[in-house]
Amino acid sequence: MIYSCPRRLARVFALAALCAGNAHAAIVLTLDSVTPFGAYFDYHYSITASSTDLITAGTDQGYVTLDGIPGLITVEAQTGWQASGGASSADPTLEDVTFTYNGPGNLAPPSTALSIGLIRSSYGNASLGTYAWGDLGPDPIYQNSYIPQSGLGQVSIPSVSANGGGGGTVPEPGTLALLGVGLAGLAAMRRREQ
């Protein structure tokens, strides 16, 4: 059945666009370069963050975790950051890697990319993978206060083959919000038509 409800669809898409516009990654993780290191490959990462956010030391509100790194050899963190690895919850044969801020005091987000460290892998190909992030964002109710926030993003990670195979991928939060609102709107329109 084809629906011809342009005003209803326009409202659904307007609401979906509004929700998608509010979903954003406050910490954006970027793969800066992949360089050979003997028989291995070093994946160098940096972050940028929203200018209104705060990254805190000694808590879980200043981190990025890359999911499912194949061929992990070692992890090195820049000064002010700590790197750790552990079995992936999605695939126990792979390891997750977490970079946590542990520098002195709080870190105001830099206006340019800030290097956080590298991942050394036995694989030199890259494919999209998932990362989780956490920091503090402005409290919408209390002025000059912060609240914990977190989310997901995508970044290139080591891959078993040139066609992918390393780490999992998930849609961006804005895409999920758009899909959810669109499906809810279509379901409501279908109920009204019946």
Asked whether the predicted pLDDT for residue 175 surpasses 80, the reply is no
Beta strands in the chain (DSSP E): 27-37, 40-49, 63-69, 72-77, 81-87, 95-101, 114-121, 125-138, 146-159
Which of 3.40.50, 2.60.40, 2.30.30, 2.30.230 is the CATH number of 24-170? 2.60.40
In this structure, are residues 33 and 44 in contact, taking their beta carbons and an 8 Å threshold?
Answer: yes
Q: What is the CA 1 to chain-centroid distance, rounded?
A: 38
For the residues 173-180, what does the mean pLDDT come to? 44
Phi/psi at 126 (nearest 5 deg)?
-125, 150
Asked whether the predicted pLDDT for residue 68 surpasses 90, the reply is yes
pLDDT at position 192: 47
In this structure, are residues 174 and 21 in contact, taking their beta carbons and an 8 Å threshold?
Answer: yes
Banded model confidence at residue 69, pLDDT cuts 50, 70, 90: very high
Start-end of CATH 2.60.40 domains in the chain: 24-170
Q: State pTM to two decimals.
A: 0.70
pLDDT at position 78: 95
Asked whether the predicted pLDDT for residue 132 surpasses 80, the reply is yes
Banded model confidence at residue 149, pLDDT cuts 50, 70, 90: very high
